Structure 1
Amino acid sequence: MALTGGMIFMIDLHMHSYYSDDGEYQPEELVKKCKEKGIQYMAVTDHNSVRAVGEGREAAQKEGIHFISGVEVDCTFKDRNFHVLGYGIDEQNPVFQKIEDNISVQSEEASVKMLEATRKLGFDVSESDMEKLTETMFWKNRWTGEMFAEVLLNKPEYRDHDLLLPYRPGGERSSNPYVNFYWDYYSQGKPCHVDITFPAMKEVISQIHESGGKAVLAHPGQNLRDHMELWEEIAVSGIDGVEAFSSYHTPEQALFFSHEAGEKQLFITCGSDFHGKTKPSISIRQHGYSGSWEELLKQLEGIL
């Protein structure tokens, strides 16, 4: 970490609470984890929901942590799915309730279709299996690819199933088995994918701006990995920043997007994308940023 004025600044602006359908911890628990890690600036950016903002802010104030209001909204650009982070938003703006309601209704319907698609892979998984898994979660009737992975990987009868071997200890996809199973089977273009109608990226950017926030393209190295030709258009679409430093990015990707941000007058952010058990190899503060924290803070003045 870089020393700035005798202090070490630690920032993590991308993490998820249990208000995300793939998050594990309550906002207060995330604040405690940030305190333990020495985080001084944090944001909880749940998927299509701002429910954690008030709770997180209150808990952070008690711990002396600077809390930035945030959200991560699913959207589309040129028929591809992306995530846009909103920072410094007014979480009371009614647009965020509309975003949550829209996704929630569609997610429940999609969950049933994903269950059917999972069965077509040859797995005996039931609604009761999924309901048992979600009984302690905030969203009871919303199932994700990561949840299907957790259920299947914990069924004894599938211990040696060929499709699951890559996700077991020692397998090539075992670093984050649940989320990797999602990317391989439930993400866009994969056999268990179910379409959900997301708003256009420009619409989401506009909504974030109207709520007083700044819009940042989340983990671009992940979502643009096979479609880098879209980057130039996205960079001038109205976004304010780019999450150059992410647990998803290689050092080369982080360097590329940092350089691109400078060239295109965008600010950069850093976030671990911590979820808990969904991504067990990712911890808070794990985003790869090692530059000047003082310089990063200057860039982020508009949202801190």
Structure 2
Amino acid sequence: MPQSTPPRSLVDLHMHSLHSDGSMPVKELVARVARRGVALMALTDHDNTGGIASAAQEADRHGIDFIPGVEISSEWNGIGIHIVGLGIDIENANLQAGLDKIMEFRDWRAAEISRLLETAGIPGAEQGARELAGSRMVGRTHFARWLKDSGHCRDNGEAFQRWLGRGQVAYVPSDWIPMVEAVSWIRQAGGIAVVAHPGRYKLSADRLCTLFTEFRAAGGGAIEVSSGSQAAADREHLGKLAQQLDLAASLGSDFHGPEIGHAEIGQLAPLPDAVQPVWECLGHSIPHDKH
């Protein structure tokens, strides 16, 4: 049987570089965005904006419309929820103070994971993870990659199953900020807050609706309706919820690197026709295909 053509979008508002847990330097990432034919992009590294200035410069060089972004680690009712901020002013003092607070926790968690691994007979993990990270933002994925590269496990999945996952010897619980606080930082920085990949949270329909309702009440503005890291079948349901709750719709691949198991840049089903695209709320027109 013939293979179906993968979906392709001219817009991709969720991706990561070496400034968080992506595997590509900013310059290479934006060049890949250009090769994929994406005309409007956002860089949304976890809990920091260190790559934004260079990404904006590279996007301009390639003729790509650019939206500055960030993905903030937060918590709602005991569940980790990622909130993307789009159209943010990266010079905003309140936003940067908040992100610094998260990074301080990440620094502590990295040291604690390393201590637990050393107690289990695996020394040098923090140094190895930091060398792989290439920036201050060190997460569990960097430890997983180091454990794999240093021969302690076959792949990242085994690293989490044996060492880093919940209940394992080097598991350190997250202590993220409340979701409403993340939304507040984004709004203070002039941006629109977006619930990232809501289909990944494994919430019942009622709880998902409650999450979105409380998010909207806190000042949230959009949900990621089409995402490379959730089931494609979620798109229609999430689009209807966005309409019902008067939330805009975003889309993003959540690309981390060519060797990491998320969708390719721009490999996204389009938004449902009836929703309000978040980029229009930010003053960006729908890009035209350059091919």
Q: TM-score range by the shorter chain?
A: 0.7 to 0.9
Identical amino acids, percent of aligned pairs: 24
After superposition, the C-alpha distances for 1:56-112 in whole angstroms (9 at most, x for unaligned) are 111111111010111111111112211100111111101232123212221121112
Relative to structure 1, is the Cα distance of residues 93 and 281 closer, same or farther in structure 2, using a 3 angstrom cutoff?
closer
The change in CA–CA distance for 1:152 and 1:298 in structure 2 (over 3 A counts) is closer
Query: In the alignment, which of 229, 234, 237 is matched to residue 253 of structure 1?
Result: 234
Aligned partners of 2:11 and 2:41 also within 8 Å: yes
Look up the SS of the partner of 2:172 in the other structure.
coil
Supply the AA of the counterpart residue of 2:264: S
Question: For residues 258 and 129 of structure 2, what CA distance do their matches in structure 1 show?
Answer: 13
Whether the aligned pair in 1 keeps the contact of 2:83 and 2:196 (CA below 8 Å) is yes
1:243 aligns with 2:220: no
* 1:125 maps to 2:144: no
How far 1:269 moved relative to its partner?
1.1
What is the match of residue 287 of structure 2?
none
Give the 5 Å matches for 1:207-286: 207-222=185-200, 224-226=201-203, 229-237=206-214, 238=216, 239-276=220-257, 279-280=260-261, 282-286=263-267
For 2:22, the equivalent position in structure 1 comes to: 23
User: Given residue 135 of structure 2, which amino acid in structure 1 is its aligned partner?
Assistant: W
How far did 1:143 drift?
A: 4.0
Residue 178 of structure 1 deviates from its aligned partner by 2.8
How much has 1:296 moved relative to structure 2? 6.8
The alignment partner of 1:55 has SS state of: helix
Q: How many Å separate the matches in 2 of 1:285 and 1:194?
A: 34
- When residues 259 and 298 of structure 1 are mapped into structure 2, their CA distance, relative to the original with a 3 A threshold, is closer
Change (3 A) 1:155 1:18: closer
Segment drifting more, 86-95 vs 142-151: 142-151
Deviation of 1:232 (Å): 2.0
Establish whether residue 134 from structure 1 lines up as the match of residue 133 from structure 2: no
> In 1, distance between residues paired with 2:31 and 2:206?
41
What amino acid sits opposite 1:247 in the alignment? G
Q: Which amino acid aligns with 2:14?
A: H
Q: Residue 42 of structure 1 contacts residue 66 of structure 1 at CA under 8 Å; is this kept in 2?
A: yes
Measured against aligned partners, the alpha-carbon deviations of 1:131-176 in whole angstroms (never above 9, x if no partner) come to 2453364335x643222222222344x4xxxxx5xxx5xxxxxxxx
Which residue of 169, 184, 193 maps to 1:206? 184
Partner of 2:289: none
- 1:23 CA drift (Å): 2.0
Secondary structure, counterpart of 2:134 in structure 1? coil
Distance 1:134 1:207, change over 3 A: closer
Q: Is the 8 A contact 1:16 1:273 kept in 2?
A: yes
In 2, the alpha carbon distance for the partners of 1:150 and 1:74 equals 21
Q: Whole-Å Cα distance in 1 between the matches of residues 160 and 130 of structure 2?
A: 17
Question: Judging changes above 3 Å, is the alpha-carbon distance between structure 1 residues 184 and 203 closer, same or farther for their aligned structure 2 residues?
Answer: farther
Q: Match of 2:135, SS? A: coil
Describe the shift of the 1:37–1:203 C-alpha distance in structure 2 as closer, same or farther (beyond 3 A): same
With normalisation by structure 1, the TM-score equals 0.78
- Give CA-to-partner distance per residue, 1:183-217, whole Å, 9 cap, x none: 88646x44343234322111211221122111110
Unpaired runs of 5+ in structure 2? Answer: 285-291
Cα RMSD for the two superposed structures: 2.9
